[in-house]
């Protein structure tokens, strides 16, 4: 984007900067050339920083904050409708690793984060159609030039990377120019742990480095031919680690600096003390324990707000102001309230944990289960013990006698025996009549339980998936009702209320983990075996591209009859994911973090749900959750404090290790290595001595 002369780039309106005398320009360039060592500058600022610490002991905060809370709140309202791109690479340094591979991943992830931030802001406030005029690159300290992270790492420059910057696109200067740097992010390990004082000030070494880069940016702008739409006497430096981050804002007129090229660090330190205003935000969490950006939290919000101001300096005022976008907050809020009052349970569609009234938030209202049941009353067929049901499948008519009536917490199903083989037990599920899917949410759940699960199990059979840990399709078809069927010859159903009702029959039969936990029969042996067997079922299904999407205690059964040793079967495949458009069941306690955030499954989502099921089934406290936000907050806290690993570690070290492994994969595209974990779990199962203690050393 070229301005009025070949050497001038500009992407916005503004007053053209007056030309600087050649002698003054040469002096500043020489000053910049010598001003490269942050350690020397930091040493010159020690007394200044000591006075800051003394001030922080007597005052509420040593530094002013860059942004007032009311500004961030309005910006938050404006961003409600903005969709930031999902990040694939994560900065999370797994268990404090300091390997080159982890450091490289962190730089790549920071680059992704800044690009996603910039892209989301540009499209929301400036233009969805015009190309974004900025790019992201890493600063190499060896020559103070910028390189794409992947190229820098491939060329062996990883150890010399000092920061990641947002730059104005300039094809003539592929390695960047300092007057075209919008913002810099310093990636330093343990930013939060290095912070000083109760208000979480960054350490002097980190702050000194940030000030050095800030002064370089200000000096470069002061002699630049670029036009700036806002005052160029202000720059923002981001401080980030693998989870936390903050903003340093540096303001000041560098024309008041004494440009003594023989004493560059003394001059800079004096300018900072006398003519510079430094604002520092608290160090807050930006990424959660799983490595995903918490776009709506204050940590990410203040970083986004800093980037927003940096874009204004180079691109001019946005087409859509913060006030314009924030004005829609009220209507969005009202829409959500109306949705809640209509009893929308799509967010929590399993029906187990419905939204409860919370006095602190008028948006969440109680959904009366009774109102749903009244609507469905008389529409769903109920069967009693001893009654016989006949179904017609593609091959023949089959009869089943009801032996027991069961409930899985939300729906009714049965244990039945074939009329021709009374000694055999099977699960029998009765669906909703095809014409009755609309009146009640319960009918929709029945559709998943019967019609959709029939489809999934049929696909498994067609693909040749076979495992004793997966349910087997015994029969499926339509019920044969009493009396004469007046079904029209053209197809469809007659007017009998049962005509066309779908039936699904599966094997084997067993006790659900939920019932085992309630009866106190889910112990150490059962936990390890359950993890192994469910993981085995997931491995077989994933080989055909099928994911479960609804793992919970009611969907895992323990089979004892007809087997030498008890084993577990993963049932309830009605919400299974076959393709991208499919959506998993939403359960506040057992759904994966990615499922709650995105409404989709990642490669490790089923394994994450399995870990939650084991955690709660092994005695982990079941928290009260009344919203997706609360469920996500609980997950973040549980993983960051290692509550899940600690609880499972009390049961077995192999389960603790598995939870650690899942923690490292959550939200990533990396697949679960089923083979290695099945081998490890198998080594901890003692079939020959079932019921006694399991060796947990592995």
Least confident of 134-138, 166-170, 260-264, 389-393: 389-393
Residue owning tokens 């820098």: 152
pLDDT at 71: 87
- Where does a domain end: 324, 341, 373? 324
pLDDT band for position 605 (50/70/90)? Answer: very high
Least confident of 69-83, 380-394, 613-627, 639-653: 380-394
Q: Are 442 and 380 in contact (CB under 8 A)?
A: yes
Q: Which helix (H) or strand (E) holds 184?
A: strand 181-187
Are 502 and 535 in the same domain?
no
Structure tokens that stand for 27 in this block: 């002096």
Q: Are 209 and 186 in contact (CB under 8 A)?
A: yes
pLDDT greater than 60 at residue 304: yes
**CA–CA separation, 575 vs 599, rounded Å?**
12
Q: Are 455 and 503 in contact (CB under 8 A)?
A: no
pLDDT at 358: 36
Are 174 and 245 in the same domain?
yes
Q: What is the CATH number of the domain that holds 414?
A: 3.30.200.20
pLDDT band for position 344 (50/70/90)? Answer: very low
Highest mean pLDDT among 84-93, 114-123, 176-185, 541-550: 541-550
Q: Are 391 and 376 in contact (CB under 8 A)?
A: no
Are 469 and 530 in the same domain?
no
Summarize pLDDT for 606-631 with one digit per residue, the tens: 999 999 999 999 999 989 888 888 99
In a domain, 241, yes or no: yes
pLDDT greater than 60 at residue 126: yes
pLDDT band for position 402 (50/70/90)? Answer: very high
Structure tokens that stand for 257 in this block: 């600096």
pLDDT at 414: 94
In a domain, 611, yes or no: yes
Q: Are 429 and 450 in contact (CB under 8 A)?
A: yes
Q: Are 410 and 351 in contact (CB under 8 A)?
A: yes
Mean pLDDT computed over 277-300: 80
Are 502 and 517 in the same domain?
no
Helix, strand, coil shares of the chain, percent, nearest 5, are 40, 15, 45
DSSP codes of every residue in 116-172: HHHHHHIIIII-SSSPP-EEEEEEETTTTEEE-HHHHHHTT-GGGEEEEEEEE--TT
Are 163 and 234 in the same domain?
yes
Peptide bond into 125 cis (omega under 30): no
pLDDT greater than 70 at residue 354: no
pLDDT greater than 70 at residue 229: no
pLDDT greater than 70 at residue 330: no
Mean pLDDT computed over 356-384: 42
Mean pLDDT computed over 127-148: 87
pLDDT at 266: 93
- Where does a domain end: 324, 343, 363? 324
Phi, psi of 107 (to 5 degrees): -65, -40
In a domain, 330, yes or no: no
Summarize pLDDT for 523-549 with one digit per residue, the tens: 999 999 999 999 999 999 999 999 999
State the distance between the two ends of the chain, measured CA to CA, in whole angstroms. 61
- Calculate the average pLDDT of the chain: 79
Q: What is the pTM of this model?
A: 0.49
In a domain, 366, yes or no: no
pLDDT greater than 80 at residue 110: yes
Distance of CA 381 to the CA centre of its chain: 40
pLDDT at 690: 41
Q: Which helix (H) or strand (E) holds 313?
A: helix 298-315
**CA–CA separation, 680 vs 542, rounded Å?**
19
DSSP codes of every residue in 548-563: ----SGGGEEEE-TT-
Mean pLDDT computed over 283-287: 82
Are 476 and 527 in the same domain?
no
Strand extents, DSSP E, 387-479: 388-392, 397-407, 412-418, 426-430, 472-479
pLDDT at 499: 75
Q: Are strands 181-187 and 161-168 parallel, antiparallel or unpaired?
A: antiparallel
pLDDT band for position 244 (50/70/90)? Answer: confident
pLDDT at 350: 36
Are 124 and 38 in the same domain?
yes
Summarize pLDDT for 177-223 with one digit per residue, the tens: 888 899 999 988 767 665 544 456 778 888 999 999 999 999 888 87
Least confident of 15-24, 348-357, 667-676: 348-357
pLDDT band for position 360 (50/70/90)? Answer: very low
Size of the chain in residues = 698
- Where does a domain end: 309, 324, 339? 324
| Domain boundaries, position 420 | 383-483+495-509
Mean pLDDT computed over 321-330: 75
pLDDT at 374: 31
In a domain, 341, yes or no: no
Cβ within 8 Å of residue 462, ≥6 positions away: none
pLDDT greater than 80 at residue 688: no
Cβ within 8 Å of residue 217, ≥6 positions away: 178, 179, 181, 184, 235
pLDDT greater than 60 at residue 342: no
pLDDT greater than 80 at residue 595: yes
**CA–CA separation, 584 vs 567, rounded Å?**
26
**CA–CA separation, 321 vs 323, rounded Å?**
5
pLDDT band for position 346 (50/70/90)? Answer: very low
**CA–CA separation, 188 vs 163, rounded Å?**
9
Are 210 and 301 in the same domain?
yes
Q: Are 348 and 354 in contact (CB under 8 A)?
A: yes
Cβ within 8 Å of residue 13, ≥6 positions away: 227, 229, 316
Query: Could you tell me which residue, 664 or 528, shows the higher pLDDT?
Result: 528
pLDDT at 348: 36
In a domain, 460, yes or no: yes
pLDDT greater than 80 at residue 88: no
Count of structural domains, the chain:
3
Q: What is the CATH number of the domain that holds 644?
A: 1.10.510.10
Are 137 and 285 in the same domain?
yes
Are 627 and 678 in the same domain?
yes
pLDDT at 199: 54
Mean pLDDT computed over 19-38: 74
In a domain, 182, yes or no: yes
Are 408 and 543 in the same domain?
no
pLDDT greater than 60 at residue 16: no
In a domain, 344, yes or no: no
pLDDT at 162: 82
Query: Could you tell me which residue, 175 or 532, shows the higher pLDDT?
Result: 532
Mean pLDDT computed over 36-61: 82
488-494: long-range contacts (C-beta < 8 A, 24 or more apart)? 493/433, 493/434, 493/435
pLDDT band for position 328 (50/70/90)? Answer: low
Structure tokens that stand for 389 in this block: 């049901």
CA torsion 418-419-424-428 (nearest 10°) is: 30
What does the radius of gyration of the chain's CA atoms come to, in whole angstroms? 31
pLDDT at 404: 93
Are 649 and 517 in the same domain?
yes
Mean pLDDT computed over 684-696: 52
pLDDT at 487: 65
Q: Are 45 and 202 in contact (CB under 8 A)?
A: no
Query: Could you tell me which residue, 131 or 495, shows the higher pLDDT?
Result: 131
Residue owning tokens 């106190």: 520
User: What percentage of residues in the chain have a pLDDT greater than 90?
Assistant: 36
């Amino acid at each position: 984007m070229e301005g009025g002369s070949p050497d001038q780039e500009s992407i916005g309106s503004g007053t053209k900067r007056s030309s600087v005398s050649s002698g003054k320009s040469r002096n500043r360039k020489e000053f910049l050339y010598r001003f490269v060592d942050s350690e020397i500058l930091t040493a010159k600022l020690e007394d200044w920083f000591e006075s800051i610490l003394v001030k922080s002991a007597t005052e509420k905060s040593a530094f002013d904050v860059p942004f007032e809370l009311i500004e961030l709140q309005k910006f938050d309202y404006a961003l409600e409708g903005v969709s930031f791109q999902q990040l694939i690479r994560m900065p999370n340094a797994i268990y404090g690793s300091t390997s080159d591979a982890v450091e490289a991943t962190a730089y790549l992830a920071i680059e992704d984060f800044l690009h996603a931030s910039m892209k989301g802001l540009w499209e929301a406030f400036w233009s969805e159609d015009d190309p974004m005029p900025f790019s992201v690159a890493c600063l190499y300290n060896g020559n103070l030039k910028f390189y794409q992270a992947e190229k820098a790492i491939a060329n062996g420059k990883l150890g010399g990377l000092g920061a990641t910057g947002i730059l104005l696109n300039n094809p003539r200067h592929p390695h960047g120019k300092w007057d075209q740097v919008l913002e810099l992010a310093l990636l330093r390990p343990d930013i939060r742990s290095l912070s000083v004082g109760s208000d979480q000030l960054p350490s002097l070494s980190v702050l000194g480095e940030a000030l050095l880069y800030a002064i370089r940016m200000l000096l470069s702008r002061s002699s630049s031919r670029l036009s700036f739409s806002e005052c160029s006497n202000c720059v923002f430096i981001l401080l980030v680690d693998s989870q936390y981050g903050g903003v340093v804002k540096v303001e000041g007129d560098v024309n008041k600096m004494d440009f003594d090229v023989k004493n560059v660090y003394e001059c800079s330190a004096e300018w900072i003390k006398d003519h510079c205003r430094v604002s520092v935000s608290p160090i807050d969490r930006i990424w959660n324990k799983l490595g995903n950006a918490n776009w709506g939290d204050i940590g990410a919000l203040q970083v986004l707000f800093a980037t927003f101001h940096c874009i204004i300096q180079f691109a001019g005022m946005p087409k859509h102001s913060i006030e314009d976008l924030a004005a829609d907050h009220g209507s969005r809020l009202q829409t959500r309230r109306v949705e809640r009052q209509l009893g929308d349970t799509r967010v929590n569609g399993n029906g187990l944990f419905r939204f409860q009234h919370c006095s602190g938030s008028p948006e969440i209202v109680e959904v009366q289960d009774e109102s749903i049941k009244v609507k469905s009353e008389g529409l769903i067929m109920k069967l009693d013990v001893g009654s016989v049901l006949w179904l017609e499948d593609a091959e023949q008519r089959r009869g089943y006698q009801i032996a027991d009536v069961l409930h899985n917490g939300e729906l009714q199903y049965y244990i039945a025996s074939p009329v021709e083989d009374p000694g055999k037990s099977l699960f029998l599920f009765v669906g909703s009549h095809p014409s009755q899917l609309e009146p009640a949410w319960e009918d929709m759940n029945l559709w998943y339980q019967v019609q959709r699960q029939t489809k999934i199990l049929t696909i498994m059979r067609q693909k040749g998936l076979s495992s004793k840990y997966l349910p087997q399709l015994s029969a499926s078809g339509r019920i044969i009702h009493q009396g004469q069927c007046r079904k029209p010859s053209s197809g469809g159903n007659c007017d009998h209320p049962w005509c066309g009702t779908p039936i699904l029959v599966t094997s084997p039969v067993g006790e659900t983990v939920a019932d085992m936990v309630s009866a106190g029969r889910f112990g150490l042996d059962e936990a390890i075996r359950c993890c192994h067997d469910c993981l085995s079922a997931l491995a077989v299904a994933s080989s055909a591209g099928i994911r479960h999407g609804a793992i919970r205690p009611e969907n895992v059964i323990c089979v004892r009859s007809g087997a030498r040793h008890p084993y577990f079967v993963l049932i309830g495949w009605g919400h299974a994911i076959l393709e991208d458009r499919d959506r998993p069941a939403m359960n506040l306690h057992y759904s994966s973090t990615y499922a709650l955030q995105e409404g989709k499954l990642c490669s490790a989502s089923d394994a994450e749900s399995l870990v939650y099921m084991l955690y709660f089934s092994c005695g982990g406290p079941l928290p009260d959750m009344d919203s997706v936000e609360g469920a996500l907050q609980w997950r973040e806290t549980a993983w960051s404090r290692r509550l899940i690993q600690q609880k499972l570690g009390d049961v077995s070290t192999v389960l603790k290790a598995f939870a650690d492994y899942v923690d490292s994969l959550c939200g990533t595209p990396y697949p679960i290595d089923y083979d290695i974990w099945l081998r490890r779990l198998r080594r901890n199962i003692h079939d020959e001595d079932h019921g006694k203690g399991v060796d947990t050393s592995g």
